[in-house]
Amino acid sequence: MRGARTEHELRAALGLLTTGEEALRVPLLLDAWHSTHAEVRTRAHEALRQSALAQVLPRALPHLHGGQWEWLDVLGGDGALPPELVRVAASAPDAADTWGRAFLRLAGGGLLHAPGLVTPLLEMVRHEPSETRLHVLARLTDWYEPGGAAVLARALGAVLTGEHRPLLFDTLLAATKELPPSWTVRILSEVARPSDAAAVDALADAVLRVPTLLPGLPEALRSRVEARFLQDTGSGDTERVRRILTLRAESARSEREKEDVVELLERSLGHRRARVRHHAHRLLARYAPRERYLRATHQLLSDADPHTVRRGIRVLTFGGQVESTQTLAGLLTHREPTVRRAAREGLLVLGPPAIAPLTKAAAHVRPDHREAVFEVLEELRARQR
């Protein structure tokens, strides 16, 4: 490598370094990283990051001790930081944002295992709660050690109740948005207040993604999250509302909670989105007593969506709901042919028990609509003979 001088020669030499012992390759790659040729530097840089951290770090440490933080840029890894690297960082609070950005890169999309970093980092956060420091703090595996979240929350207590709380909390909240739902809940459960609307929103989003997280929330935060769900059920976000209805139905345990869910589902039959109405109706079939489910289904017969109306007709008629006969009689002249056909077939499914109420209904329909009713009556009587 050292004998190569032109860019072509250096690039050719780099190509030879794709295989072989890392202990031999790393010094040559570091030499190439200092090349005057941009492409050579870039390729060496990428190769160093892909090399084992145990091979690169010993050569970078003397430079890092000297404050040459650009050497952090050649380090690769999976988020597990060696103690010697942590000690270098802990001894340089003035460069916290610089090494913090490097550590976040090393964490990738996961956690950061950095034994010994949490104590000096907390001190740095208390002194100056910068965005980078808080993002590093949010990714530390210390949150997930037994009792770790509570310990960290207590350690942050002075900042969380002081003048820097808005900055610290908003930044910590932003950091959790990049984390899996269980991590978000672990952190916010310890540091959020029920009055923190943004935190409640973040917790609600996390719980919707992983519903099993809801029971683990502190009672006050759980109540706020459930209140947020109730508020959101009136929104136009169809898929979110459907997920909320499912979560509420599946998580209800006490009789009071189950009754609240059934009432929520009944109200949701009037939601402006047809997919929400259909979903609420399916959930009612599963979670409501049969008679109450059938009673609620009557509401579908006046729905603006023809598919929803046909769904209601099928459920009621196959459920033997003769009480729906008068409403079904009115649907025999519905503007949609598919609804008219479904109403006729539904009345025939009800059979002879529908004759008396249908005869009564015929006296109250418009004269120009009676023929459709009489045709169904005639067929029902013919089947009775």
Give the pLDDT of residue 16. 47
Tracing tokens 């979560």 back to the chain, one arrives at 247
Tell me how far apart the alpha carbons of residues 285 and 268 are, in angstroms, rounded to a whole number: 14
- Which of 77, 37, 72 lies closest to 53 in space, CA to CA? 77
Give the pLDDT of residue 20. 58
- Which of 62, 60, 6, 68 lies closest to 29 in space, CA to CA? 60
Give the domain ranges of the chain: 1-51, 67-232, 303-385
Tracing tokens 């595996």 back to the chain, one arrives at 141
Q: What is the DSSP letter of 336?
A: S
SS3 113: strand
Helix axes 131-139, 118-127, angle to 10 degrees: 150
- Which of 44, 50, 56 lies closest to 11 in space, CA to CA? 44
- Which of 327, 336, 279 lies closest to 307 in space, CA to CA? 336
Give the pLDDT of residue 140. 92
Looking at the chain, the number of H-run helices and the number of E-run strands are: 23, 0
User: pLDDT of the chain along its 385 residues, tens only?
Assistant: 444 455 555 555 555 455 557 677 888 889 889 888 888 888 889 989 998 999 999 999 999 999 999 999 999 988 899 999 999 999 999 999 999 999 999 998 788 999 999 999 998 988 887 889 988 998 999 988 888 888 888 888 777 777 767 877 888 888 888 888 998 999 899 889 999 999 999 999 999 999 999 999 999 999 999 999 999 998 768 999 999 999 999 999 899 999 999 999 999 999 999 999 999 999 999 999 999 999 999 999 999 999 999 999 999 999 999 999 999 999 999 999 999 999 999 999 999 999 999 999 988 888 888 999 999 999 999 887 6
Give the pLDDT of residue 327. 95
